[in-house]
Amino acid sequence: MVENVLEVKDLTMHYTTRKGPVFAVDDVNFHVARGESVGLVGESGCGKTSIAISLLKLLPDNADIKKGQILLNGTDLIPLAEAEVRKYRWRRISMVFQAAMNAMNPVYTVEEQILEAMQQHLPDMSDAEMDEKVDALFRLVGLDPSFKDQYPHQYSGGMRQRAVIAMALSCDPDIILADEPTTALDVIVQDALLKRIRKIQGELNMAMIYISHDIAVIAEVSDRVGVMYAGRMAEMASTEAIFHYPIHPYTMGLMSAFPSIVGEKTALVTLPGEPPDLLNPPPGCRFNPRCPYATDICKEETPPFKDHENGHFAACWHPGGEK
């Protein structure tokens, strides 16, 4: 049995708004094993970032975890009080955000910010050890340690994102959540960073959840991929299975809607309609209004998220389009 660093069971999170509850995350199940990289992909509003902030319990006031378990090394984070969660956050589970400029404090040097995280969470470490560690982290993410006493605004976008990754790695977490870390970067800088992230993740044998809207980026960094749609996990399988043998009609649609610069130039197929409003999601399978294979059952009952073959999970009444 593979050791799971993180297990998410039946996670359901709603936002309360003036117009009523938004069903942002609904009955989501997945796990991440040690040393494994899991990609979460989906369109805006599909719940991928809501999952990330639920895992860290960094919820805004109007968000509520309705049910489920978040097991980090076997400990459920959901019932824990904020003071308890703090012991886990950053130390066991850390996060890299999309907007690196906003994730750093402009009035402290990059070194001071990394040290602050370590002083908070690693009280037993001596100052000399910490200095050494900062240098090691800089080299790990591909930054020259001589830049460490500069301020965030003196860094380029790619360097800043590397610094944020160094910060997230500073307390040797068991799992790191990366939410669109390369989205704001140009392709050449993005390519270098993706390669670096993948290398670090392998070297440290660290578990990672990589969130992105870009399926091409997800293909580069993930061992397994979860495809989300309208707050639910639609399909989850090995990266190769997701890209070569998708069985959920939404995943199948995504694959034929995404242009590529390699291979034959093919006509892209449009998914009809738009993602649903999560204030008022359609009953049954949330993809049913756009699905070419939908039948009556799809409009009435939510399909279970189950294993169809060797760990290839999907929530669909007609996997692969079968009748």
Partner 1 sequence: MTVQEDVLVNIEHLSKLFPVGAGVFSRSDTYVHAVSDLNLKIMSGESVGLVGESGCGKTTTGKLLTRLLDPTEGKIELNTYEGVVDIASLRGKNLKKFRQMVQMIFQDPYESMNPRLTIYDTIAEPMDVQGIGSITDREERVAELLETVGLAPAASFMFRYPHELSGGQRQRVAIARALVIAPIFVVADEPTSMLDVSVRTGVMNLMRELADRLSVTYLYITHDLAVARYMCDRIAVMYLGKIVEWAETEELLHHPQHPYTRALLSAVPVPDPTFEREPVEIKGGISKPVNPLPLCRFYERCPRADDFCKNNDHPPLEDKGAAHFVACYKV
Q: Which residues bind partner 1 (CB under 8 A)?
A: 43-44, 156-158, 186-192, 194, 213-217, 219-220, 222, 239-240, 243-244, 253-255, 257-263, 265, 268-271, 274-275, 290
User: What are the distances in angstroms from CA 200 to CA 94, 118, 221, 234?
Assistant: 15, 19, 11, 29
Whole-number minimum distance, CB 88 to partner 1, in Å? 32
Closer of 279 and 297 to partner 1 (Cβ): 279
Whole-number minimum distance, CB 29 to partner 1, in Å? 23
Closer of 94 and 161 to partner 1 (Cβ): 161
Closer of 290 and 318 to partner 1 (Cβ): 290
Whole-number minimum distance, CB 189 to partner 1, in Å? 5
Whole-number minimum distance, CB 8 to partner 1, in Å? 23
Closer of 108 and 293 to partner 1 (Cβ): 293
Q: How many CB atoms lie within 10 A of CB 58?
A: 12
Closer of 94 and 251 to partner 1 (Cβ): 251
| Residues 60, 51: Cα–Cα separation, whole Å | 13
Closer of 148 and 224 to partner 1 (Cβ): 224
Closer of 231 and 275 to partner 1 (Cβ): 275
Whole-number minimum distance, CB 62 to partner 1, in Å? 21
Closer of 170 and 190 to partner 1 (Cβ): 190
Whole-number minimum distance, CB 295 to partner 1, in Å? 21
Query: Which residues are within 8 A (CB) of 52 and not within 5 positions of it... i.e. 6 or more apart?
Result: 95, 177, 179, 209, 211
Whole-number minimum distance, CB 244 to partner 1, in Å? 8
Whole-number minimum distance, CB 130 to partner 1, in Å? 30
